Structures are given as C-alpha cells and as structure tokens.
Amino acid sequence: MNVHKISRCFVHQSKRFGSLYTQVKGEKVLRTPHFNKGTAFTLRERQALGIHGLLPPVVSTPEVQEERIMRNMAHQSNDLDRYVQLMDLQDRNEKLFYRVLCDHLEEMMPIIYTPTVGLACQRYGFIFRRPRGLFITIHDKGHIEDILASWPTSNVKAIVVTDGERILGLGDLGCYGMGIPVGKLALYTAIAGVEPSSCLPVVLDVGTNNQTLLDDPLYIGIQENRHTGQDYDDLVEEFMTAAVKRYGQECLIQFEDFANHNAFRFLEKYRNRYCVFNDDIQGTASVAVAGILASLRITGGKLSDNSFLFQGAGEASLGIADLLVEALQEEGLPLEEARSKINLMDRKGLITKGRKAGGVTEHKSRYACERADMTDILEVVKTVKPTALIGAAAVGGVFTQDIIETMGTLNKSPIIFALSNPTSKAECTAEEAYKHTQGRCVFASGSPFNPVTLPDGKILYPGQGNNSYIFPGVALGTILFGIRHISDEIFLEAAKMCAGLVTQEHLNEGRVYPPLAEVREVSVKIAARVGEYGFEKGVAGLYPRPSDLESFIRQRMYDYNYEDFNPHFYDWPKTS
C-alpha cells in the first residue's frame, strides 16, 4: 500500500480523534514529507516511531531548522539553485518548507514563483527530482479516470492545470510547464492556507511546437508537434469530466498558461458548468484593477476620468479591459461609453474598426476604435493621450524613454504598469519609469524591482502587481464557502478589497499594493469578501452561514507547526 496514502488518511484521523501515529513507522516516517520533522523529532517520538538512531542525536527546534535552511540558501550562487533547494525541502519536510515560505514571503516569492519559476520551467528536465503532480498525455485519452485514481489522495479541493503552451512570456515549454501548477499551488498553501494534500498540479501534455525541445534527446515530455483540433478538445473535456466525477462538482479547477486561442474559449465553455477560473485572464485583471483603483487616490478623480492604452491584446490585456469595463459600469457609465475609455495595441498596431492589417478577433473587436490605423506606440500615445499605459504583451523594453516622457508630459501623475513576466520581458524598469517622469508616475510591475531613490533622496517602492494578491484568497473563499461558479464580479470584489487595504503610508511610499509580507492577511480579507458576496447573492453552498467569516477562515487555514507524535497513553481503572 502507498505510504503517502496511508499518511494522509491517518493525519485526518489523528486530528479528529487524537489517535496514535503508529501506522507508519521506521524509515518510512523520514521518507514521508508530511510526517518528517527531521532533527525536530524528540527523543520519545524517535523511540515511539522506531527511528531512534536514524537521525543525529541533536533535537532541533523548528526555528533552528529554519535558520539552517536560510543560511544554506544564502550560500547558493543563484536563484535557480535556491529554487532547487526549496523543492528538495518540499519533497523532504513539508511543514518546514511552508514555515520557510510563510516566514520569509517577500524573500521567497521571487524564487518559488516569478521570475525564477520561468527559468526553472525552461530547465525543468535538468532539475527534475521527484514528480509532484500528474502528467496526462494526449495518448491517455479514454484512461484519464484511471490516472486520477493513481493520485494518492481523493480529497482534492483545488487543481491547477496547464498544457504548457504559453508559459509566462516564454512561450511553448510543453510538459516543462509543470513548474507553474506546482508553484501556484505552493502559494495556495503558503499565502491562503489551503491544505497541501488538497492540491493537485496537472500538465496536459499534447506535445510541443518548440523545436529546441523536439530536438532535445533529454526532453522528458512527448516529442511530437502539438495535437490540436477535436483531438485536443476531447482530451480537455475528458479531463474536466473525470476530475469532477472523482473530486466533486465543488472542486476548483484553475486554468493556467493556456495560449490565447484556447484560454478564452475554455473559460467560456466551462465557467457555468464547473467551478473554474483562468488566472491569466481573471487573476491578472483583478490585481491590475486593484492597482488602478489604489492609484486613483494618488492621481485624484474617478475611474471614469481616465483613459487606458494597452500594449498587448492577449488574455491578460483583454481580461483587465473587461474588468475595467465592469468597474466603469458600476460607476454609472453605459457599456459602450465604458469600452470607449480603452484602446488596445497588438503586434499589428492599434485595434481599429476595419483595420487593413486584419487580426481583429471577436474578443478584440469590442474595443476597436474609430481612428486611423497606427503601428507605432509613441504615435498612438500622442494621439490617444491615455492617463494610464499598461503593458502585458511580454515585449521587453517597449516603453522607451520617449514614450515614458510623453506620458509625463500629458499627465501630472501618469499611471504606468509594466506587467509582463519574467523581469526580462518587463516593458520598462521601475527606475526608468520614475527617472523619465521625474518621480511623478504611479508605477507597478509584474516582476519585482528594487526600491528607487530619487534625486531629492525620496525612496519609492515599486508596486508589484503580483497575481498572488488575488488568486489564493479567491480560491480559499471559493473552497471554504462552496462557491460553485466563479463570476467576474467576484474578481472585481477581490480587486476592491485589495485596493482598500492600501494605506496612505503605502501610497506615500509609491506602493499601490500592500507589502508582500502582508499578503496572507490580504488573502484572508479577500476570502471573507468572497464568502460575504456568495451569501449576499445566494451562490454560497455552505450552510449555515458562519457568524464570523474571518474567524471561520482562520480556523481552517493550514498550520505549518509540527504535529505531536508522542503516544497518548492512558490507564484503565483499577479493579477490586
């Protein structure tokens, strides 16, 4: 029998009944990440579990173990090596892994997720140690139920699934994209406290069109060109059906890093059938809108006083645009007037009605404007005169000095969001944005940038529009309160909550998001708002409604403190 499976069942039993940890003993305890405490096992625990002598004699506190990990991390020469070390720790000692993440979130986030995770995905085949999810291939059609049954737990509450076709701004990485679901779900636990055993990372390997991987004899995925069309759609449909059949209608399924042409249609196809969302579309939109709403407290005025220009017209840009339209309508604007506040550019230029270059798809067409065709972004900025410039097309350095200076000329406090990941794909750096606007711009980015010191000595802290402000809290609220379908309204509520947590002190420092160190608290607040919204709209499945939503949430969040493995001895009463 699978030791991992035993341990999960037994941990649940022990929490309910205080049962003894006797089903797994000996060396298997040290090889089961959920059980293993390493040198933190006490002498009595070691004796009771049959591991005395298998560990060095010292009994360490969790704090000492954490310090040892942090010192080892500091000795690594680069962030990829630090990423590998963290993954090894997760495979070895789950509780300690999450302790390190939670206690050092600002330091660990760029390692466990963007930007380092992009490099980790590119080299996934070289750093692969131990499988952390399910690899389902196009050749497994008809057998996906059997593959899901191979996963050692049946109490899965959250799945993150990708087909690896559009990993961050890096393109098609095939099954190397597994690093993304693994990283996302690690953040589910570290940031929102979702139980690790309830999370399942999945890659749908349908091949790759990345010629480098196709020619690489060490590539660990299917070395075929991508399967498309009905064959591909049937695989996704079978996966969705099998996942819900095994884990229930309330199981949350997050689509991640699908290419544009699939991302929108899968979201539309499944959003009213299952509990799904697409973080690239909805999560990115929510965090961007949160930053814009917070920016209004610096720039002044209402949202409807602004106009927006997007460099990019893919799933991120369209998702942000759609959510902005919803926010503008909530402010009182009619639909078409709200859409007229938004202009988008793709690789063929400004999205206009009847554009000669074509390429105006259905999703883009609702933002097509009545202007002359233009391909130069500087010309577009001078013509459209936006108050906010948003980059989400992974074209590194596209916001040139001329463009940034023009934004500064047009606006007292221009909003400039360079949201593309990883750092190499950012449209501009924080330093460039501040320098070319004399420190007047409101800046946010997708990847982290260091604080910038202005000529007058003032220090500005660039906001990082990281989706982790949004998706963990939305997921936690959805899971705990039984939300069956996740609407765009939920993401707008999450954005408003996140923006509302930005203090005046944060704004004075140039931040439009709370510091990342506070992101766990942000997740609790967002989860509570999701629950509140669910009960208000009658879409929450939990009954009865908890009297204190935040208290209800906190009591159910994952605890990274070690379990007590000491046997619970007791005596029978003496008989006469």
**Residues noted as catalytic:** 113, 184
Q: In 3-state terms, what secondary structure has residue 483? A: strand
Task: Give the Cα separation of 503 and 516 in Å (integer).
Answer: 14
Q: 24: which DSSP letter?
A: S
Q: In 3-state terms, what secondary structure has residue 83? A: helix
Q: What is the rounded end-to-end Cα distance, in angstroms, of the chain?
A: 45
207, 222 contact by CB (below 8 A):
yes
Dihedral angle computed from the Cα positions of residues 471, 475, 478 and 479, in that order, rounded to the nearest 10 degrees:
180
The token pair that represents 541 in the structure block: 């499945």
Task: Give the Cα separation of 503 and 501 in Å (integer).
Answer: 6
Is residue 77 packed enough to be buried (19+ CB in 10 Å), middle (13-18) or exposed (0-12)?
exposed
74, 83 contact by CB (below 8 A):
no
Only one residue has tokens 């789950």, namely 94
Sign of CA dihedral 295, 300, 302, 303: negative
How many CB atoms are located within 10 Å of the residue 518 CB? 16
The token pair that represents 442 in the structure block: 């409101």
Instruction: Verify cis geometry, omega within 30 degrees of 0, for the bond prior to 115.
Output: yes
370, 353 contact by CB (below 8 A):
yes
How many CB atoms are located within 10 Å of the residue 412 CB? 11
Task: Give the Cα separation of 101 and 253 in Å (integer).
Answer: 24
Task: Give the Cα separation of 502 and 346 in Å (integer).
Answer: 32
167, 177 contact by CB (below 8 A):
yes
Task: Give the Cα separation of 195 and 193 in Å (integer).
Answer: 6
Q: 281: which DSSP letter?
A: I
